[in-house]
C-alpha cells in the first residue's frame, strides 16, 4: 500500500509553505523517512507541532512530491509518475482536514457528491450513494444546507463523508478531532475504525495522546522531520 | 430530504463557484470594446481594399493622348492638326489592348481648363492640343511601343499613362489594409491579455476551492475547462454586444464611402434609410461573414486564453 524509502521533502518556489535558510536553500522538512504500511493497516501519526506530520500527510495525499527518496503509493511511484497519472491516484485517497475544507458555496449534498462527480459518475447514479452516505454520518436532515450553517461536528462529519464516499483505499486524517468535543471525537473514531474494518488503510495524525491511548494501534512518530518510531 | 445536487445537471454544476467570482463581470464590457474596434478595423481593411480596387479599375484603365496642333508648343509646323489627330485615332483603334478611343471636343477641353484658367479660357485663343481619352482592356497595350508608334505617326504626341498614380494609390490602399489588419491583431492580443487577467483574478479568488478540488482528484483539464467555459461565455456575450454597437456604425461608414466605389451619392449628401438599406445589400461578402465571426472568435480566444492561464497556474500544484 505505502512504501517509503529515504523520503525527504524540501519546500521550494513561491508557495506559502516555502521558506529559505540563511544560505538561500529551502529547509528540508522531512528527511530520510523509510517505512511501509500494508493494505488495510492502521497507523497513528504522532509528534509535536512542527515535527512534519502535516508535510508527510501532504506527501501521502500527493499534494507534494518527495524531493528525495522514493515513495510508492498503491503501486505508483509518486516522485516519478507523470502529471496526468496523479489525479486518478488522488481519487483513491480520502483526506480529512483539520479545518474541513468544505466548499461554502455548495450544499452539504454537493460537497459530499464532489468526488463522485470528479470521478465522472452520472448525476442519476450518484444520488443514492450520497443519500446513503449522509444517512450513515447522520447528516440527512441538513443535506441542503451550506457548511457555514452547520456545527463543527456536523462539518467534520460532512468532511468525512466526502472523504469516504468513493470508498478510498487510503484514508488520511489530519488532527480530525481538533475541533470536536470528546463525544463527537469518539463518534469520529468509530467511523474511522469502521472504514478500517472494511479494508481501508487509515492514517490519523494527532497530538491527542488520550485519544491514542483509548484506541491503541501502531504508530509512526516524527520529530524534527525524522521518523523516530515505527511500531 | 431536500437535495441541493438533485436539481443540478452535470453540465450546470458550478463546483468552483465561478458564477460569483470577480473578474468575469467586467470581461464582457472589455471584450465588447475590443470587438467594436475589431469590427471597425475589419471594415477599414475591407474599405481600403474596395477603394484600391475601384481606383485601379478607373484611373488604371485610362490613357490620355495629346496631339499638338499646328502652332501649339511642341508641334512641328506644316502638318494639318485634324489630320494628325485622325491618324492617331486610327492607329489607336487598331492597337490591341485598346478598348475605346474618344477624341474630346473643344467644349469638353474648355470645361477641363475652366478650373485653371477661369471663364475666359475660350477667349485666350491658346493653341490647345487635341486630347484623346483612351480606355484600355485589362491586359492593356504595350505602352512604350504605343508611344513610339504615335510619335512616329504624329511627331510631338504625348501619351500620358496614369500608372504611377495608380501604383501609388494601390500602395496606399494596401498600406491602409495592412494597418487595419495590424490593428486587428493588436486588438486580439489585448483581448487575450484582458481575458488572462480576468481569469487570474477569478483564480485568485477561488484559490482554496481549486486546491481542494485538485486534492480530490480533479484533473487539470476539468479545472481549466470550468474557467475556460466561463471566460468563453463572458467573451461571447461581450462580442455580441460589441457587434450590435459596431454594425450600424459600419453600415453608415460604408454608405458614406459608397460614392467613392462607384455607387450613386445621396442627393442630400447624407445617407438616408433607403440608402443605408441599399448599402446593407451591397456590403462585400467578406464583411458579411467576418463581422458575425467576431463574437465566435472572442469566445474561442476566451476559451483558449483562460485554459492557458489556468493550466500555467496549476503547474504550481503537483
How many Å apart are CA B187 and CA A207, to the nearest integer?
58
ipTM of the complex: 0.87
pLDDT (average), residues A109-130? 90
The contacts of residue A109 (CB under 8 Å, 6+ apart) are A130, A134, A143, A144, B3, B4, B5, B6
Average pLDDT, chain A: 88
Residue B312 C-alpha cell reads as 500555467
pLDDT at A190: 87
Inter-chain residue contact A114 with B213, CB threshold 8 Å: yes
Distance from CA of B211 to the nearest CA of A (A): 9
Flag if B3 and A117 touch (Cβ within 8 Å).
Answer: no
Which string of b and e fits A127-146 if b means at least 16 CB within 10 Å? bebbbebbebbebbebbbbb
Most confident option among A14-23, A206-215, B95-104, B240-249:
B240-249
Whether the pLDDT of residue A15 is over 60: the answer is no
Distance from CA of B316 to the nearest CA of A (A): 8
The alpha carbon of B202 is separated from its chain's Cα centroid by a whole number of angstroms, namely 37
Give the residue from chain B lying closest to A164, CA to CA: B216
Subunit contact A110:B209, Cβ cutoff 8 A:
no
Query: Does A115 contact B220 at a Cβ distance shorter than 8 Å?
Result: no
- Nearest Cα neighbor of B236 from B160, B141, B301 is B301
Taking any CB pair shorter than 8 Å as contact, residues of chain A touching chain B are 13, 15, 61-65, 83-84, 86-91, 95, 101, 103, 105-110, 113-115, 117-119, 122-123, 126-127, 130-131, 134, 140-141, 143-144, 162
Task: Compute the average pLDDT of residues A57-64.
Answer: 93
- Name the pairing type of β-strands A93-96 and A76-77: unpaired
Are the Cβ atoms of B10 and A114 closer than 8 angstroms? no
Task: For chain B, give the mean pLDDT.
Answer: 82
A113 contacts in chain B (CB < 8 Å): 5
Q: What is the pLDDT of residues B139-157, one digit of tens each?
A: 778 888 888 888 888 888 8
Place of cell 498503491: A74
- Residue A119 C-alpha, separation from nearest chain B C-alpha, in angstroms: 8
pTM for the predicted model, two decimal places: 0.74
The residue of chain B nearest to residue A165, with distances taken between CA atoms, is B216
Q: What length is written for chain B?
A: 318
Q: What does the DSSP 8-state code read for residue B260? A: G
- C-alpha cell of residue B201: 483574478
Confidence check: pLDDT of B279 > 80: no
* Mean pLDDT computed over A36-44: 93
The pLDDT confidence band at residue B159, using thresholds 50, 70 and 90, is confident
Which pLDDT does position B140 carry in this prediction? 78
Dihedral angle over CA of A100, A106, A109, A111, nearest 10: -40
Q: Is B58 a residue whose pLDDT tops 80?
A: no
B-interface mutation test, from A117, A169, A173, most B Cβ less than 10 A away:
A117
Nearest to B5 among A86, A113, A115 (CB): A113
Which of B108-117, B216-225, B253-262 reaches the highest mean pLDDT?
Answer: B216-225
| Least CB–CB distance from A106: residue in B2, B4, B217 | B4
Contact B310, B232 (CB under 8 A): no
Q: B76-108: per-residue pLDDT in tens?
A: 544 555 678 888 898 888 888 888 888 888 778
pLDDT at residue A158, as a whole number: 92
Q: What is the pLDDT of residue B225?
A: 93
The three cell numbers of residue A107 are 450544499
DSSP A66-103: -SEEEEEETTEETTTS-GGGHHHHHTTEEEE-TT----
Contact A103 B212 (CB under 8 A): yes
| Greatest mean pLDDT range, B83-87, B282-286, B306-310 | B306-310
**Over B135-192, what HEC string results?**
EECCCCCCHHHHHHHHHHHCCCCEEEECHHHHHHHHHHHHHHHHHHHHHHHHHHHHHH
Contact criterion met (CB < 8 Å) for A114 and B317: no
| pLDDT reading at B235 higher than 50 | yes
A84–B5: do the CB atoms touch at under 8 Å? no
| A89, A141, A144 ranked by CB distance to B4: nearest | A144
Tell me the shortest Cα–Cα distance from B298 to chain A, in angstroms: 29
Query: Could you tell me which residue, B278 or A163, shows the higher pLDDT?
Result: A163
Which stretch of DSSP H or E encloses residue A114?
helix A108-118
Contact B4 A141 (CB under 8 A): no
What is the per-residue pLDDT for A151? Answer: 87
Residues of chain A positioned with their CB less than 8 A from the CB of B318:
62-65, 83, 86
Name the β-bridge partners of A222.
A227
Mean pLDDT of A23-36: 84
CA dist., res. B226 & res. B318, Å (int): 19
Q: What is the layout of strands, in order, in the sheet containing A201-205?
A: A93-96, A170-174, A201-205, A42-46, A219-223, A226-230
Task: Tell me if A107 and B4 make a contact (CB, 8 A cut-off).
Answer: yes
Residue B281 has pLDDT above 70, yes or no: yes
Q: Give me the residue from A65, A105, A110 closest to B5, CB to CB.
A: A110
Beta-bridge partner residues of B200? none
For residues B70-84, one letter each, b for 16 or more C-beta atoms within 10 angstroms of the residue's C-beta and e for the rest, the string is: eebeebeeebebeeb
Q: What pLDDT is recorded for position B13? A: 66
pLDDT (tens digit per residue) in A157-201: 899 899 989 889 999 999 888 777 788 788 888 888 988 998 999
Question: Is B3 close to A109, i.e. CB distance below 8 A?
Answer: yes
Amino acid at each position: 500500500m505505502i512504501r517509503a524509502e529515504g523520503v525527504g521533502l524540501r519546500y521550494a518556489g513561491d508557495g506559502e509553505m516555502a521558506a529559505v535558510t540563511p544560505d538561500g536553500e529551502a529547509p528540508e522538512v522531512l528527511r530520510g523517512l523509510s517505512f511501509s504500511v500494508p493494505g488495510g493497516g492502521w497507523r497513528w501519526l504522532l509528534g509535536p507541532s512542527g515535527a512534519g506530520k502535516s508535510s508527510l500527510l501532504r506527501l501521502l495525499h500527493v499534494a507534494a512530491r518527495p524531493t528525495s527518496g522514493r515513495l510508492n503509493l498503491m503501486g505508483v511511484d509518486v516522485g516519478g509518475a507523470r502529471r496526468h497519472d496523479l489525479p486518478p491516484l488522488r481519487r483513491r485517497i480520502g483526506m480529512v482536514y483539520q479545518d474541513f475544507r468544505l466548499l461554502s458555496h455548495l450544499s452539504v449534498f454537493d460537497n459530499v457528491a464532489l468526488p463522485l462527480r470528479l470521478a465522472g459518475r452520472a448525476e442519476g447514479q450518484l444520488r443514492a450513494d450520497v443519500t446513503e452516505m449522509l444517512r450513515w454520518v447522520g447528516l440527512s436532515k441538513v443535506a441542503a444546507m451550506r457548511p457555514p450553517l452547520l456545527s463543527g461536528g456536523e462539518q467534520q462529519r460532512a468532511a468525512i463523508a466526502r472523504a469516504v464516499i468513493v470508498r478510498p483505499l487510503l484514508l488520511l486524517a489530519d488532527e480530525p478531532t481538533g475541533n470536536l468535543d470528546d463525544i463527537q471525537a469518539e463518534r469520529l473514531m468509530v467511523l474511522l475504525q469502521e472504514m478500517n474494518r472494511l479494508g481501508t488503510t487509515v492514517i490519523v495524525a494527532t497530538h491527542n495522546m488520550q485519544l491514542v491511548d483509548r484506541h491503541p494501534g501502531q504508530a509512526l512518530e516524527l520529530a524534527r522531520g525524522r521518523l523516530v518510531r515505527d511500531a | 430530504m431536500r437535495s441541493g445536487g438533485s436539481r443540478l445537471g452535470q453540465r450546470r454544476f458550478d463546483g468552483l463557484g465561478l458564477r460569483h467570482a470577480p473578474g468575469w463581470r467586467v470581461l464582457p464590457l472589455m471584450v465588447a470594446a475590443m470587438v467594436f474596434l475589431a469590427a471597425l478595423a475589419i471594415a477599414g481593411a475591407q474599405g481600403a481594399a474596395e477603394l484600391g480596387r475601384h481606383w485601379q479599375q478607373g484611373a488604371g484603365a485610362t490613357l490620355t493622348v495629346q496631339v499638338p496642333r499646328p502652332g501649339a508648343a511642341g508641334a512641328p509646323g506644316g502638318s494639318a492638326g485634324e489630320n494628325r489627330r485622325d491618324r492617331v485615332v486610327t492607329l489607336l483603334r487598331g492597337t490591341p489592348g485598346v478598348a475605346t478611343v474618344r477624341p474630346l471636343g473643344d467644349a469638353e477641353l474648355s470645361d477641363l481648363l475652366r478650373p485653371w484658367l477661369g471663364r475666359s479660357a475660350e477667349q485666350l485663343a491658346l493653341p490647345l492640343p487635341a486630347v484623346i481619352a483612351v480606355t484600355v482592356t485589362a491586359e492593356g497595350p504595350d505602352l512604350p511601343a504605343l508611344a513610339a508608334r504615335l510619335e512616329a505617326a504624329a511627331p510631338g504626341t504625348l501619351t500620358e499613362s496614369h500608372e504611377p498614380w495608380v501604383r501609388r494609390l494601390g500602395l496606399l490602399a494596401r498600406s491602409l489594409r495592412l494597418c487595419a489588419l495590424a490593428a486587428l491583431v493588436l486588438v486580439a492580443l489585448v483581448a487575450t491579455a484582458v481575458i488572462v487577467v480576468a481569469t487570474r483574478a477569478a483564480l485568485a479568488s477561488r484559490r482554496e476551492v481549486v486546491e481542494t478540488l485538485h486534492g480530490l482528484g480533479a484533473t487539470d483539464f476539468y479545472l481549466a475547462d470550468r474557467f475556460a467555459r466561463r471566460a468563453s461565455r463572458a467573451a461571447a456575450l461581450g462580442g455580441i454586444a460589441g457587434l450590435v454597437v459596431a454594425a450600424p456604425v459600419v453600415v453608415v461608414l460604408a454608405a458614406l464611402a459608397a460614392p467613392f466605389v462607384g455607387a450613386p451619392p445621396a442627393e442630400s449628401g447624407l445617407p438616408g434609410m433607403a440608402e443605408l438599406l441599399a448599402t446593407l445589400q451591397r456590403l462585400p461578402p467578406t464583411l458579411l461573414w467576418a463581422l458575425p465571426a467576431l463574437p465566435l472568435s472572442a469566445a474561442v480566444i476566451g476559451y483558449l486564453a483562460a485554459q492557458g492561464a489556468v493550466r500555467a497556474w496549476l503547474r504550481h500544484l503537483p
